[in-house]
Amino acid sequence: SRGYFPEPSKSILICNPENRLAAKSVLQEFDFKYSDGEWYIGGFIGTSDALDAWLTPKIAAWADGVQVFSKVARRFPQTAYAGLTKSLQSEWIYLQRVVPDIAESFAPLEKALAEEFIPALFGGSDAPSRETSQLPVRFAGVGVSNPVSAADANFALSLSMTADVSASLKSGSELDAIGYGLDSARVLRQAKKAREAELADKLERLKA
């Protein structure tokens, strides 16, 4: 009635390897593609091994991007800074919001930020410490967050803000869209307030 005609041959069934034979036996009438894990709506569904195989080259590509911006920063620091903070950084922050337990995978990216981009941005010897540079501009930093330490908090906030949607999908119940919007905004305000207090305290400790 909505003009949508599912095509099993274009669908992917994601399951643990040990369940694949049983799944194929039950669903043999469909020509599904079978996989241990796949990218889906910006995130990932599947086994931890499949996630690692998908995530590792993605983070390596971001680290390469940081190296490119580091080279640009030596002559055009403002351009490189804007490109990294307004574009590239947003990509991995989004991923951290939708995929849990991946903080340690971002170590190569943090290494590139700390050892290459920040020194290049400030001309080498005048570069601030990594602890300072990851603070927002309004707290005397440059807003280049540490992707390792920020990953779990990014996911936790996303999980809290979308709790009503998740509950609705799992139970099959109707979603109160207005109530969800109000509750999500409340969670975000509380998180921002707590974050502001945490940053202010960190800045005072650094000043001391």
Q: What is the mean pLDDT of the chain?
A: 94
Decide: residue 87, CB within 10 A, 0-12 exposed, 13-18 middle, 19+ buried: exposed
Judge whether 199 and 136 are in contact, CB under 8 Å: yes
Helix or strand holding residue 67 (H, E): helix 48-73
pLDDT tens-place string over residues 87-141: 999 999 999 999 999 999 999 999 999 999 999 999 877 888 999 999 999 999 9
pLDDT computed for residue 171 by the predictor = 94
Helix or strand holding residue 14 (H, E): strand 12-14
Could you give the CA distance from residue 167 to residue 124 in angstroms, rounded to a whole number?
Answer: 50
- Residue 203: pLDDT band by 50, 70, 90 thresholds? very high
* For residues 150-170, average pLDDT: 95
Rg (CA), the chain: 21
* For residues 57-76, average pLDDT: 96
- Residue 198: pLDDT band by 50, 70, 90 thresholds? very high
pLDDT computed for residue 124 by the predictor = 76
Cα angle value 193/195/196 (rounded, 5°):
65
Q: Which residues contact 111 (CB under 8 A, 6 or more apart)?
A: 63
Could you give the CA distance from residue 74 to residue 84 in angstroms, rounded to a whole number?
Answer: 14
Judge whether 69 and 82 are in contact, CB under 8 Å: no
pLDDT computed for residue 138 by the predictor = 93
Q: In degrees rounded to 5, what are phi and psi of residue 79? A: -65, -45
pLDDT tens-place string over residues 7-42: 898 999 999 999 999 999 999 999 999 999 999 888
Collapsed DSSP state (helix, strand, coil) of residue 34: strand
pLDDT computed for residue 145 by the predictor = 94
Kindly report whether the global pTM for this prediction surpasses the value 0.75: yes
Q: Which residues contact 155 (CB under 8 A, 6 or more apart)?
A: 96, 97, 98, 99, 100
pLDDT computed for residue 6 by the predictor = 85
pLDDT computed for residue 100 by the predictor = 95
